[in-house]
Amino acid sequence: MRSASETRAAILRAAEDLFIAQGYSTVTVGKIAATAQVATQTVYSSTGGKAEILMELLIPAIEDPSVARTMRQITETEDPREVINATAQGTRQAHEGHWQMLEALVPQCHAEPTAAAVLAAGNAEFMKVLTLIAERLRDLNALRPDLTTDKAADLLWFHLGQDAWFSLVGHRHWSFDDAEEWLAKAAKWALLADPEVER
């Protein structure tokens, strides 16, 4: 007999597999229960409904430890190019480590209020991190003179945020290596007064 924690883990695994394979909107709690080999009521009592399960599945990606590693690297370097390289690497790791789930589930989150709220909160936290990175570039006197810190953070979002990875890797089928290299170069040209990269 499975413990409560094992049952919960089985339900989350089943839900993730089903959401990815069939799409969030078509999966019922009954399907999740059948795949996890539990009663439907057990799904509700262990994890909540579909929205709560989706929220639970998204949290590891939103709270990925690559963020803390990236911030340590950024505070330890005096080279603004390395700040951007570290940011590109960190955002790549956060997306690549959860890619199958993010690519399948994030587009579906907007139609689910609970999941959309979790995603919005995650994006807000991500924007705070990007603002700290923009401030670091400012403190290194590295930003183009026409950029405010807020605009620099927006450009980091544009070049290294979720949509950039979805566009190149998801839609255009670039490798993560190629995408990381190009996005880092593009971010340097967009943000730095002296990017020192080849055109």
What pLDDT, in 10s, does the model give residues 38-53? 999 999 999 988 888 9
CA proximity to 80, closest of 130, 30, 136, 39: 136
Q: What's the confidence (pLDDT) of residue 24?
A: 83
Q: What is the pTM of this model?
A: 0.84
What is the per-residue pLDDT across 85-102, written as a single tens digit (0 to 9) for each? 999 999 999 999 989 888
Looking at 97-175, list the stretches that DSSP marks H as alpha helix, in order from N- to C-terminal side.
99-109, 113-139, 149-160, 162-165
Q: What's the confidence (pLDDT) of residue 89?
A: 96
Quick check: is 183 in a domain?
Answer: yes
Q: Looking at the structure, do residues 38 and 106 belong to the same domain, yes or no?
A: no
Task: Name the residue range of residue 119's domain.
Answer: 56-191
Please answer whether residues 58 and 109 qualify as being in contact, where contact means their C-beta atoms are separated by less than 8 angstroms.
Answer: yes
CA 101-103-106 angle, 5° bins: 85
The pLDDT of 138-148, averaged and rounded, is: 96
Q: Decide if pLDDT at 108 tops 80.
A: no
Q: Looking at the structure, do residues 9 and 62 belong to the same domain, yes or no?
A: no
Q: Looking at the structure, do residues 67 and 164 belong to the same domain, yes or no?
A: yes
Q: Looking at the structure, do residues 44 and 133 belong to the same domain, yes or no?
A: no
Quick check: is 12 in a domain?
Answer: yes
- pLDDT category at 198 given cuts 50, 70, 90 is very low
Q: Looking at the structure, do residues 36 and 74 belong to the same domain, yes or no?
A: no
Quick check: is 125 in a domain?
Answer: yes
Q: Decide if pLDDT at 199 tops 70.
A: no
Please answer whether residues 193 and 143 qualify as being in contact, where contact means their C-beta atoms are separated by less than 8 angstroms.
Answer: yes
Q: What's the confidence (pLDDT) of residue 13?
A: 93
Quick check: is 161 in a domain?
Answer: yes
Compare 118 and 184 and report the one with higher pLDDT. Answer: 184
* Mean pLDDT score of the chain: 91
Q: Is 143 helix (H, G, I), strand (E, B) or coil?
A: strand
The pLDDT of 178-185, averaged and rounded, is: 97
